[in-house]
Amino acid sequence: MRRRSASPSLLPTPPVLTRIRAGFPVEHFQTIRRRKDGSLVEISLSVSPIRTPSGRIIGASKIARDITQQKKTERALRTSERLASVGRLAATIAHEINNPLEAVTNLVYLAKEEADGGDLRDYLVAAEEELSRISHLTKQTLGFYRDTKEAATIRIGPMLGPLIAVFAGRARNKAVEIRTEIASDPEVYAVAGEMRQLITNLLSNSIDAVSRTGRIRMRVSAATEWSGRRRSGVRLTVADSGVGIPPEIRSRLFEPFFTTKKDVGTGLGLWVCKGIVERHHGSIRVKSSTRSGHSWTVFTVFLPSKQEELLTEDFRLAV
């Protein structure tokens, strides 16, 4: 059978050809093809057999329609529906754990009051702080109050030590070395709880990414914005010696439900990080290498300083 095709990239696939040879048309066959510039395009193919007056099949007539935007819209809708479902589920779980959480918090408080001091009291104080964080997250999930009311002048540096201590067990089990460097630590106007959540997600991802005896470096420094208004602020860098992230999936890292972890992870951590950074008028970037023996990944977060944010607020009021 003679094929009438303007581009080799749009040639019908073997199953389609089999159906055409049998004399049946193929309607709306969806597939992915490559453009001349190398980029991929999603198309819908309709292929019909071409017959002679005697009925013999001598070729195929093909119509290709670009459905890339349609597919993007469909994926966005599915993502929105999944996020709504996750939101309802999270609210239900938060409601169910709130009462036992309060009971455990009260028990830890009573145990702390009875403790004579020393390491036991320190452990109970640390447990109380972590329970307070969990309670904060459940209330936030249930919508009891909005975090934006708690924005204040803070520094990122002092948060690193306590959060690293929370992951000490995981890091020790993998013999992971975590080092911090506070080059300089300008003030930022931010929600402390969201900053802790941001750091926690990035650090947790790095621990998951590295193999045994891996290395993680966390650095806080004064910085200037990469582009745009060139605002001054603080830069948080989390670098690890993990396997790296392949180039073809880096653009999807901040999409909800996208994850490179097969057994763990919801695919929401980096999406949450991006949302937190954007709410604080900052930016987040990722660089990575998968080169064997020299692989690494670096996440860099820029947050504008308190002074820059106040100037932005004043400008908005002025206009």
Q: Where are the domains of the chain?
A: 8-66, 69-145, 146-318
The answer to whether residues 125 and 112 touch, using CB atoms and an 8 Å cutoff, is: yes
Is the pLDDT confidence value at 188 over 90?
yes
Q: Would you identify the CATH topology of the domain 8-66?
A: Beta-Lactamase (3.30.450)
Angle value at C-alpha 108, between 95 and 110, nearest 5 degrees: 120
Per-residue pLDDT tens for 257-295?
Answer: 788 776 666 677 898 899 899 999 999 999 999 998 899
Higher-scoring residue by pLDDT: 26, 217: 217
The answer to whether residues 105 and 149 touch, using CB atoms and an 8 Å cutoff, is: no
**What local confidence, expressed as pLDDT, does residue 301 receive?**
97
Is the pLDDT confidence value at 32 over 90?
no
Higher-scoring residue by pLDDT: 245, 312: 245
Contacts of 50 (CB under 8 A, 6+ apart): 4, 57, 58, 59, 60, 61
The answer to whether residues 215 and 241 touch, using CB atoms and an 8 Å cutoff, is: yes
**What local confidence, expressed as pLDDT, does residue 145 receive?**
40
Give counts: helices (H), strands (E), the chain: 9, 10
Helix or strand or coil: residue 123? helix
Per-residue pLDDT tens for 66-108?
Answer: 888 888 777 777 776 677 666 666 666 766 676 677 778 888 8
CA distance 178 to 214: 9
By mean pLDDT, which of 61-65, 237-241, 269-273 is the weakest?
Answer: 61-65
Instruction: Give how far Cα 105 sits from Cα of 102, 110, 112, 124, 125, Å.
Output: 5, 9, 11, 10, 11
Is the pLDDT confidence value at 6 over 50?
no
Higher-scoring residue by pLDDT: 169, 285: 285
CA distance 240 to 296: 6
pLDDT band per the 50, 70, 90 thresholds, residue 299: very high
Helix or strand or coil: residue 41? strand
The alpha carbon of 156 is separated from its chain's Cα centroid by a whole number of angstroms, namely 21
Angle value at C-alpha 55, between 53 and 57, nearest 5 degrees: 110
Dihedral pair phi/psi, residue 261, rounded to 5°: -95, 120
Task: Please tell us whether the domain made up of 146-318 is placed in CATH 3.40.50.12710.
Answer: no
Higher-scoring residue by pLDDT: 211, 18: 211
